[in-house]
Amino acid sequence: MSKTVGFIGLGRMGGGMAANLIKSIGTLHVHDPFPAAAEPLIKVGATAHDSPAALAAECDLIFLCLPFSPEVRTVMFGDNGIASAGQKNLTVVDTTTLDRTDALAFAEEAAALGIAYWDCPISGMPFRAHDGTLTIMFGGTKEAFEEAKPYLENCGTDIIHCGPLGTGQAMKALNNVIYNVNIVALCEILPLAVSVGLDPDEVARVVTSASSRSFASEYFVPRMMDRKFDSDFAMQDAYKDIVNVQKMAVEKKAMLPVVNAMVASYQAAMSAGYGAEPKSSILKIYEQALGVEFRHKD
């Protein structure tokens, strides 16, 4: 690994990824619009820059981890963006979760400026970003994947080459929609279990150990029981995965009745005012319908 590496976006996911990178490669150029986010990395040897352009002028490989498409566009092509540095032979690996069509558009615009852009979304909670155990889905050429893989291995344990440009975003969206279906099933069924007289604590034991056990149940059911509807990704921020899959379904004329039912529950929860809360808050609309709560007994 001989490239000069930069990392832009040092939030809950990017901060952990950048910390693991610098442990391995010894030096890292970093930027975040909130300078305080860079301080833990500066303490271990990172060099902070005040703009994406300043960072790009020093690097030939840059990783992005940003909230949404508008932030990616600004960092890539805005004033003092990466492109304005005029750096030759620059590669950008974007771990942001995006609409697949946005990733393709960014790549086309970047290529016209001599910049290689590849989509590379990640899956896992912030603790997995910090532990270096993310699942990472790369969309791009085999050569680009092999070039990025040694760096990505510092951030994840499952590094998948999904195929050409855009397939990383497709894989991430499809995986997350399966996960969303699982969460909605829990949110529908758990209030029903309470309504028919089952002990919530015993229901929790079953759905986290028996045939319905899943990552969704193991992670969210204890939080539902404790009424902890914070500290996780907001429903409204994760909605982009649904949009991605809906576009793919239209393109391929696919029938997705279960996914459509999940989307209806998701939209109902956001309409009820829970959009800023985690997906587990979908539980509340089904609790309210039955007049029960899924929680520990007093």
Give the tens place of pLDDT for each residue, 33-76: 999 999 999 999 999 999 999 999 999 999 999 999 999 999 99
Q: 184-235 pLDDT, tens per residue?
A: 999 999 999 999 999 999 999 999 999 999 999 999 999 999 999 987 888 9
Residues 12 and 110 in one domain: yes
The distance of Cα 257 from the centroid of its chain, to the nearest Å, equals 25
Q: What is the mean pLDDT of residues 231-257?
A: 90
pLDDT at res. 1: 61
From 99, 134, 164, give the residue that closes a domain: 164
Angular region, 89: left φ>0, alpha ψ -120 to 50, beta rest: left
Residues 46 and 193 in one domain: no
Contact 50, 102 (CB under 8 A): no
Residues 147 and 277 in one domain: no
Number of domains in the chain: 2
Q: What CATH number does the domain containing 53 carry?
A: 3.40.50.720
Quick count: other Cβ atoms within 10 Å of Cβ 33? 15
> Is residue 286 included in any domain, yes or no?
yes
- Tell me which residues are annotated as active site: 172
Q: Strands of the chain (E only): list them.
A: 5-8, 29-31, 47-48, 61-64, 90-94, 115-119, 122-123, 134-139, 156-163
User: Is a pLDDT exceeding 90 seen at residue 125?
Assistant: no
Q: What is the mean pLDDT of residues 137-147?
A: 98
